[in-house]
Amino acid sequence: MAQEWQVEGKHFLITGGASGLGAAYVEAFLKLGAKNVAILDIDEKRGKEFAEKLNETYKSKVIFIKCDVSKEEDIKNSFQQVLSAFKRIDVIINNAGVMDDSIDVWRLACDINWQGLVSFTRKGIDHMRKDKAGSGGTIINISSTVALVNIDFVPAYSGSKAAVLHFGRSISTQEFYDNTGVRVLTICFGPTATSLLDNIEPKTVDQKFSKTFLSLPVYTYQSIESAVTAFVKMFREGKPGSVWLSQHDKIGQDITSELDEAEKFIKKMVYP
């Protein structure tokens, strides 16, 4: 029988947790029995209000910490604040993300989507790893279907999400999990009904093409509920290093074997 990972009693750290999918993860894992959840977000007003509302139901299980994940000092301080409050972190969800390829924002967006994610992942591994007196744990990194196919009107965003995908597959080998007890998972979401895609055309490098593409039937939005269901399924069932796909309101799918086959094909050309 396949192993099923448990939510009950776990301490969560969720970036970008004040709204959208991040907020939905917070509520989902609290309902499933998480012991504590730390919401990290740059939106202090919304984050505080959300945490206060949740604590009316969940009896002080939730804390909010303002954090700009593009800034290393914020990441370091926030991580330590969570440890001070909870004494341990069992699950990190690197959810914070920005889709904006505009000339003035793309670099900041990449810092949020990629650099901040790597920093939280590495801090999480150092804290969790069993070979350094930790208790193991799970780190989930959010990629996108644009990491799997070419979408040319948001190339910087696509590149940052491809980096997330390759980072997760590179770092989370079976040997790594056996040594550390840290499970790294990656999920690729298709278009989802959140604010990420609001007013997207000015944030692209080709507004004309983006308008045409976004009107195509293939570009349909899945519900937040479907995305969260897929996410929870991955958390419970995902093998270390696995990559999952969630799109079109379908059941979450483990696509690791398909990616492995593609990699084998490429390796034959790279290492003849």
Do the beta carbons of residue 187 and residue 140 sit within 8 Å?
yes
What are phi and psi for residue 186, nearest 5 degrees? -130, 135
Do the beta carbons of residue 71 and residue 40 sit within 8 Å?
no
Contacts of 261 (CB under 8 A, 6+ apart): none
Which sequence positions are flagged as catalytic?
Answer: 157
Q: What is the DSSP letter of 60?
A: S
What is the Cα–Cα distance from 267 to 270, expressed in whole angstroms?
5
What is the Cα–Cα distance from 192 to 169, expressed in whole angstroms?
24
Dump the DSSP string for 158-201. HHHHHHHHHHHHHH--HHHHHHH-EEEEEEEE--BSSGGGTT-G
